[in-house]
Chains A and B, each alone.
Chain A
Amino acid sequence: MTESRRVLVTGVQTYWGYRVARELEQRDEIETIVCVAPEDPLGELDRAEYVKVGSQHALLRRIVDAAEIDTVLDTRMVVNSISTASRLAHENNVIGTMNILAACSGRDTTVKKFIFKSSTHYYGSEQDDPAFFTEAMRRPHAPRTPIERDIVEAEAAVNDFNEKQPDTSVTILRCPNVLGPDVPTPLRDLASLPFVPGILGFDPRLQVVHEDDVADALVHVTEHDLPGVFNVAADGVLALSEIAGLLGKPFLPFLPPWGTGLALAPLRRLGFNMPPELQSLLRFGRGVDNRKFKATGFEYRYTTREAVLKLGEHLRLSPILRGAREPYRYEREVEEFLRWSPSVQGREKEVVEPPPHPEPEPVATEPEPEPVPTPSAARPVDDYEELEAEEIISMLGSLEREELEALHALEGESRGRGSVLHAIESVLARSPAPH
């Protein structure tokens, strides 16, 4: 059993990495969350630390080693060929995966678990498919679209890694199209149109999964030791006409069954864009067998039908709510201030573990919590023993490097509170090294 304590999350600039980092922040048993991404994270992070880094494996390797990462959650996979150009997607999906795997391999690596989010596009969508793909099935034909090729290639690299690193437990999660209020996917774009388009004479069977279930699944495999491949898809396979009915929209199969690609070309000019991997899906559909993952004890919150209904509710409400929420912009200076400034009050979340032994509570006698001690008042380390972990952490930002080192030694000798030590180390890592 590998316990995940120190986690590295990739791709926080996209929905999945960010969402998982936020979920993991709430688990107390996770000590450290390091997020790496080439761009700024999608939203604010609380406890997790963000490092701006591309997929250069030498840099990643240093981060993994320095932070003694034991679990890597790789959620960068791009499965939307509209939002990302195919060359960039290839760079990210294949080359990026190889670099991250390189950063985790080697005999002396600290990584014990590697979790890879993949897609059921792995199986493709063809005429002679089984009605339900199981994890053991290979796709019957060679991949046709660039995205599918990338996915097959990336999974092959992960499998290769699995064979060469017998001590690392490797989990691959294959998710179908995700439907949910927050994550943009091509299928969601189709569902947001005033009608649901289709190909004349076809009513494909589709299976989706709600975004909450995918996030739960990623946390589930982080908490448990589940090597292998799993399909993460909701119960129930729906026909496209059924999905249209649940969304309360007309089902319009207006695309011709022959020459579908040609008919789509002029429509693309009008802004109706359909990625190639979705074209075959709208013709033949795809269902997967999700029982292997359910057998591990995972419970889905939504069935496919419920996920579609949920999206329908959201789509009806979204034109009213549009613009109500400000998009988040990552500002490094603001994040630094919030994290390290002594003026910021109430940083309870920084305290990961309660102190190991019970101590008298000085706050109990006073109705008001103590104001944050000013640096000058706190500097004498004589009454250090009486300070709360929070108070120590809050004043760290104002200390000099030498003082921090001294404090680190003192804490190690006296109480050895993990949260305090960790906070000091973080500040030390950020402050410039003495020349």
Chain B
Amino acid sequence: MTTRTSLRVQEPTPETGDSRLPAVRPDELRRHLPGIEPERQLNDWGRSERVEGFMDRTLVDFFYRYWFRCEVEGVENVPASGGAMLVSNHSGALPPDAAMIGKAIKEEHPHPRPLNITVEHFFKGYPGFSMLIPKMGCVAAHPANVQRLLYDEQQLVLVFPEGRKGTEKLYKDRYKLRRFGRGGFVEAAMRARTPIVPICVVGAEEAAPVFAQMKALQRLTGLLYFPITPTFPHGGPLGMLGYLPAKFKIRFLEPIRFDDEGMHEDKALVQTVAHEIRGRIQENLFEMVRTRKSVWFG
């Protein structure tokens, strides 16, 4: 028999002397989350500390420190405890922004926390990606997954509301935000009553510029899209990692809080808030690009 430590969630124990099923409130269910088995190398989401730690020490560390020379502002806006949703702009053929945001929180934040990155369902169905992506801390962007991570497990979740529309856009459209989905991310944060921290990333557009999209090759390979970048496809699959050494700047904005219950049912409010968050990120992006002297040296 192994020892099991419970997740650290303090909740009052409900009085259930009756054998009938009590009307279980969602916050009571939190107490019944499975415990963590320390002998395991993976967690229930399939995240592997070994794979993630290896990537973090090698590739991510190299890109963060020496290649992109990331500059971080306002990392204290990420809460030190409790669930929070991070919302960022998205770009680059194989986007490097998510890994850099995760690394920034690990390196600069006074209470480093793991980051869960939401990705398209496509990755679960594509051989290779399906095996590797969850091990590195990515989960499919399903509303139920986001709710469980934010509300039940009180974790950090990184969301890109632009989705693939952000990463497939061409170099000429850089730093122009696409539509922010249908506001589903705001609804999810409101339902979980967790704050949203908007994030602006500058540099990723120049690090992996997309010059064209090949529709025919996309169909043939079954990938999400098939971009032409400085090193892909002629550099082979690893050409996806052929980033140019642009200077990265990551800015964490003031969190927006949703403390009232039932806010997510007001669709008009959801849309308004989504629109406002998009506006805030766009405004800051333009300001950061305007004050940037050089693409390569910041």
Contact = CB atoms under 8 A, between A and B. Distances in A.
Interface residues of A, number: 42
Output the residue of B35, B37, B39, B44 with the most chain A CB within 10 A.
B44
Contacts of B45: 131, 205, 237
Contacts of B142: 128-131
B130 A201 contact: yes
Contact of B21 (A226, A287, A291): A226
A236 B44 contact: yes
A291 B26 CA distance: 10
B16 interface: yes
Output the residue of B22, B33, B124 with the most chain A CB within 10 A.
B124
A302 to B, nearest CB: 9
Contact of B148 (A132, A225, A235): A132
A47 interface: no
Nearest to B121: A128
Contact of A242 (B41, B134, B143): B41
Contacts of A228: 21
Interface stretch (A74-82, A100-108, A292-300, A410-418): A292-300
Q: Interface of chain A, helix or strand or loop or mixed?
A: loop
A238 interface: yes
A295 B20 contact: no
Given A225-B19, A237-B44, A291-B29, A137 B144 contact: yes
Interface string B109-135: 000000000000110111111110011
Interface in B148-201: 148
Interface in B19-44: 19-22, 24, 28-29, 32-35, 37, 39-42, 44
Contacts of A134: 144
A191 B131 CA distance: 20
B125 A127 contact: yes
A295 B124 contact: no
Interface residues of B, number: 42
B46 interface: yes
A303 interface: yes
B130 A203 contact: yes
B19 A239 contact: no
Given A128-B142, A131-B142, A242-B42, A303 B34 contact: yes
A127 B131 contact: no
B140 interface: yes
Contact of A1 (B19, B35, B37, B131): B19
A130 B4 contact: no
B40 A242 contact: yes
Given A237-B44, A305-B39, A132 B128 contact: no
Interface string B1-30: 110100000000000100111101000110
Contacts, number: 111
A418 B126 CA distance: 65
B139 interface: yes
A201 B131 contact: yes
A346 interface: no
B221 to A, nearest CB: 12
A372 interface: no
A128 B148 contact: no
B282 interface: no
Nearest to A203: B131
Nearest to B127: A201
B19 A200 contact: no
A199 interface: yes
Contact of A235 (B34, B130, B145): B34
B32 A130 contact: no
Contacts of A201: 126-131
A306 B2 contact: yes
A303 B4 contact: yes
Nearest to B22: A295
Contact of A294 (B32, B121, B122, B131): B32
Contacts of A227: 21
Given A128-B142, A131-B139, A203-B131, A295 B32 contact: yes
A316 interface: no
19 contacts: A128-B121, A130-B140, A131-B142, A131-B145, A201-B127, A201-B129, A202-B131, A203-B131, A205-B44, A224-B20, A227-B21, A236-B37, A236-B40, A284-B130, A287-B44, A297-B16, A303-B4, A305-B40, A306-B2
Interface of A: 1, 127-132, 134, 137, 199-203, 205, 223-228, 235-239, 242, 257, 283-284, 287, 289-292, 294-297, 303, 305-306
Interface of B: 1-2, 4, 16, 19-22, 24, 28-29, 32-35, 37, 39-42, 44-46, 121-122, 124-131, 134-135, 139-140, 142-145, 148
Given A201-B129, A290-B32, A305-B39, 10 more contacts: A127-B124, A128-B140, A202-B130, A223-B19, A224-B20, A237-B44, A237-B46, A239-B42, A242-B40, A284-B125
